[in-house]
Chains A and B, each alone.
Chain A
Amino acid sequence: MVTLAQARAVVSAVPDPELPVLTLGDLGIVREVRQGADGGFEVVVTPTYSGCPAMDAIREDIGRALPGAVVTTVLSPAWSTDWITDEGREKLREHGISPPGHLRDRGPVALELSARCPRCGSPETRLVSRYGSTACKALYTCRVCLEPFDHFKEI
């Protein structure tokens, strides 16, 4: 018999299919895990982007981790990169991806935040493209160590 607490822990530990260095818990996309009167679980998730192609894979992965769980998607309130945990941000950095800055004090949209190089730590970086390997990342180059890197965009 799986308890609610165990179910939450299992779902939270599912790796993200596109960024397996992060778990769904790190990303902050699991809104809620509920248990119905019949003992079945419902997992409420929110997509990072409207067109995120990983959502289907995420639904399947949750179903595998917690057999029989019903996965529901909600859009509102919209996911924000502020929901990525501090641990998640550290994992991104270790993985060579510059983590997003915090939006909470900057109003609805911040586009001019500079990204720090995740390899050498220099703030001397240059935006190459607003869109990187996935919708959630932008492409930068470090002026100091010359390495290109992905930056997780603030939304």
Chain B
Amino acid sequence: MNSLEIGDDCLVLSQRLAEWVTRAPTLEEDVALANLSLDLLGQARSLLSRVGDEDELAYLRGPEEFRNCLLVEQPNGDFAHTVVRHLLYASFLFEVYGAHPEDGVAAKGVKEIAYHRDYAALWTRRLGLGTDESHRRMTAALDALWPFTGELFAQDAQDARDTQDTRDAQEAHDARDAQEAQDARDAQEAQDARDAQDAQDAQDAGLRESWVEYVGAVLGEAGLVVPEGVEQRYGGRKGVHTEHLGVLLDEMQALHREHQGATW
């Protein structure tokens, strides 16, 4: 589990959900969305504290330094967009945390995220099977957000492969200058790294399979259709974001940047 990537996911989604406070459709949902936001903020703090100073990471980085996936930075839209975004992301995070029971944050987070996933699934069913209007809005939200789901799984594996290719090339270059014994050792290291990569790919594939199964089942029960053949958008894990992240960060960071260390 990458603490920076998942930590940034949690922080950005937490901020998005907090934007609903005082504006949700009903008081109960207002309270629920605030609680979802709070859980994610707590997880973000624990994860980002592993990477560095949590306040500096949250308040003093620009958009290009954030490593969150594009899905979580997408605007709240109507309530249907928020529900679909949460279904797609919470069910992904549930798989990630579930795959790392040895990690304290993940082991705690998975219990919280189970409720998030359940909350989103419940609303997906209710709105998908509700009125023509709610069904239409859910379909629109699904179409708008599906292009950001490929990044959840594929990008990790792709990044790792890019790194591995660079390392392989470097090792090949080094090996030319080195003795045979060194060649053998490099080859072994490269092989070990490839084995580790294969294991990582296999795990990503496993997570994706579980995710597809869960999301597909919920959408099916809700009378919604899983979009197919949609072109996917990538970039968040490399710091290339949609225009929405900058606006979100402006609001989140304004006070701290104006008055560093402000507390109340």
Contact = CB atoms under 8 A, between A and B. Distances in A.
Given A75-B108, A153-B115, A130 B122 contact: yes
B38 A111 contact: no
Contacts of A51: 38-43, 45
Chain B interface helix/strand/loop/mixed: helix
A104 to B, nearest CB: 14
Contact of A79 (B38, B108, B114): B108
A52 B42 contact: yes
B39 A108 contact: no
Interface in B89-147: 104-105, 107-112, 114-115, 118-119, 122
A131 B119 contact: yes
A50 B46 contact: yes
Contacts of B119: 130-131
Contacts of A53: 38
A132 B31 contact: yes
A76 B32 contact: no
Contacts of B28: 128-129, 131, 139
B110 A50 contact: no
Nearest to B43: A50
Contact of A111 (B32, B110, B114): B114
Given A76-B104, A131-B31, A108 B38 contact: no
Interface residues of A, number: 27
B228 to A, nearest CB: 30
Given A49-B112, A109-B114, A130-B115, A135 B107 contact: no
Given A51-B41, A51-B42, A53-B38, A76 B108 contact: yes
Nearest to A130: B119
Contacts of A133: 31
B217 to A, nearest CB: 15
B80 interface: no
Interface of A: 47, 49-53, 74-80, 108-109, 111, 128-135, 139, 153, 155
Interface of B: 28-29, 31-32, 34-36, 38-43, 45-46, 104-105, 107-112, 114-115, 118-119, 122
